[in-house]
Amino acid sequence: MARKRKPQTNKAVLENFAHKLTSKDPKRKFKINPKGEISMSDAISELIEPFKDDASDYDGFRNLVTYGCIAWNAANLPVKEQDDLINKMFAAIPHNMEDRLELLGLITELMDRKKKMFPNVSRMVVDFKVTDQGKNFHIPVASTLEKQESTK
């Protein structure tokens, strides 16, 4: 019975997340798990997998997901824009130089993983939410859709 309830819970979380996002911008349309598209929740989970053991509590895991999403978006940008995004992140985080260098190493490694694991996925993360489900965390991710080639 517990297995049947978990997907419903995840669906409710996704629907609430989509509702929250559309209430911020009513003109924006969202699709939950669009057909033919990679699940961004799964992609971000795979991206951060090797680092999950270092994030044992909710705050640590949420930070890891945040860094994963930043790295994902940065990896999709031209190099100059990557630097700008990372600099903005550092400006918002008051850490000492040692912490910043460690974080830069993590972001760089996550960007490399994204490029290797998902080289053809250019969707950008718009927002995410981390939900504590007791034994694990659920990560709904809102993203742009892939740009469609026009056929004329």
* Domain spans in the chain, listed from the N-terminal domain onward: 39-143
Q: Is residue 5's pLDDT more than 60?
A: no
Q: Which of 121, 130, 131 is CA-nearest to residue 73?
A: 121
Contact 139, 129 (CB under 8 A): yes
What pTM value is reported for the model?
0.76
| pLDDT of 4 strictly over 60 | no
Top pLDDT among 97 and 128 is at 128
- Which of the residue ranges 1-15, 20-34, 41-55, 66-80 would you say has the lowest mean pLDDT? 1-15
What is residue 8's predicted lDDT score, i.e. its pLDDT? 40
Q: Is the CB of residue 132 less than 8 Å from the CB of residue 150?
A: no
Kindly tell me if the per-residue pLDDT of 149 is higher than 80.
Answer: no
34, 129 Cβ separation under 8 angstroms: no
Q: What is the pLDDT of residue 120?
A: 93
Which of 40, 64, 44, 45 minimizes the C-alpha distance to 123?
A: 40
Answer whether residue 110 shows pLDDT above 50. Answer: yes
Cβ atoms of 118 and 76 closer than 8 Å: no
For residue 91, what pLDDT is reported?
77
Evaluate whether 17 touches 140 at the Cβ level (below 8 Å): yes
Determine the residue type at 30: F
Q: Which helix (H) or strand (E) holds 6?
A: helix 2-24
For the segment 13-17, the average pLDDT, to the nearest whole number, is 56
The mean predicted confidence, pLDDT, of the chain is: 79
Q: Which residue is it, tokens 């997340």?
A: 17
Rounded Cα gap, residues 99 and 30, in angstroms: 36
Averaged pLDDT, 128-146: 85
Amino acid identity of 114?
Answer: K
Residue-level pLDDT at 147:
62
| Of 42 and 83, more confident | 42
Q: How far is CA 96 from the centre of its chain?
A: 25
